[in-house]
Chain A
């Protein structure tokens, strides 16, 4: 059951990756409204992500003015970097999921507590992926 859920998550991440790529290749698209924060939502639940946090924060500073208003004119210039941050985040997530899965396979028969922890982690990852999907569908990545 847990394995099935993990596999489903990986599939969804793949879909999201494709969606991001289509945004990247589309000339009339804009990405904005806390796209970086949406990516950062995942960071607390994945390892090896320190290198992503600072770029995400920096991009946020560029996109928004002091009043937290979106600076639309800035979007084209940061678009490639933004997509990269998001895409890297997806990769980190997939790595995290794979690690999670291998841990599960290794310990499933040995330690119930670990399984509970992994399930909790899976829930957290699912929750954050859902938030990223919402961000993707509602304004965080939007087309003009």
Chain B
């Protein structure tokens, strides 16, 4: 590994203006990373990238911070997992971060996740893959996602109610110091570049690894926008009004240039199902 050059500092400078003002203060005080993996947000890409960089990196299974919320089985792959993040190794001392992807993009990836059990019986739906096969088209899946009366595995129901719930504790406090945005691949790559460089990784050691495609769905062949009808968009915009506003997204991607949000600026009321600064 090399030491930083002027070029590295130029890249760093250009990215810092799109991060929270206290980014460096927050990051330089820590010497390890803890990834809070929200399913289908780009987490496997994050895992592969950061594990390859020689940074001390913790990446436990999909968990949650609020022990009162049911989460079973594993949200994607039907592998039962339990526990809360704060009990995991590395939680206290590390810089904790997560990815909150544009909900419209996220929902298509959630639907097209293919590791679930096909033709799962009514009570045996395990993981989102199972739910996908229960609703045979994306449109029906979206209908069920918007309609609380339609069947959804109870252990995964919170993903239907408020999908980034895993990072908030029972008091509504965000336990993720940084929230990386993923409105598109470029945005996530920029956020990862800044995070990795702030851990001392020069861009030359990072560049080739940034474009690695991991865990891409073979079933999802199109840009996410092509799977939506205007009716579906309208319905989801109502359902997600609060999330879209809090995390800076609309149907087409990010609504501003920021690719990272400070967790200090986000709180969530599970009771009211509202996210933002004012709630709880």
Contact residues of A with B, CB < 8 Å?
Answer: 5, 8-9, 12, 33-34, 37-38, 41, 44, 120, 122-124, 126-131, 133-135, 137-140
Contact = CB atoms under 8 A, between A and B. Distances in A.
Interface of B is mostly: loop
Given A122-B1, A130-B201, 5 more contacts: A38-B28, A127-B1, A130-B4, A131-B28, A138-B24
Most buried by A among B25, B28, B54, B55: B28
B16 interface: yes
B70 to A, nearest CB: 35
Interface in B1-40: 1-4, 8-9, 12, 16, 24-25, 28-29, 31
A33 B24 CA distance: 9
Contacts, number: 65
- Would you call the interface of chain A mostly helix, strand, loop, or mixed? helix
Contacts of A129: 3, 200
Q: From A38, A130, A135, A137, name the one whose CB has the most chain B CB atoms within 10 angstroms.
A: A130
Nearest to A129: B3
A133 B198 CA distance: 10
Contacts of B3: 8-9, 12, 126, 129-130, 133
Contacts of B8: 130
Nearest to A5: B2
B24 A126 contact: no
A138 B24 CA distance: 8
Nearest to A15: B3
Interface of B: 1-4, 8-9, 12, 16, 24-25, 28-29, 31, 54-55, 197-202
B206 to A, nearest CB: 12
Nearest to A9: B3
A53 B8 CA distance: 29
A35 B278 CA distance: 33
A46 to B, nearest CB: 14
Contacts of A128: 200
Nearest to B202: A130
Which of B2, B12, B25 has the most C-beta atoms of chain A within 10 angstroms of its own C-beta? B25
A135 B30 CA distance: 13
Contacts of B4: 130, 133-134
15 contacts: A8-B3, A34-B25, A122-B1, A123-B1, A124-B54, A126-B200, A127-B54, A127-B200, A130-B197, A130-B200, A134-B28, A134-B198, A134-B200, A138-B12, A140-B24
A-B pairs, top 6 by smallest CB distance, nearest first, are: A127-B200, A130-B200, A131-B200, A123-B1, A126-B1, A130-B4
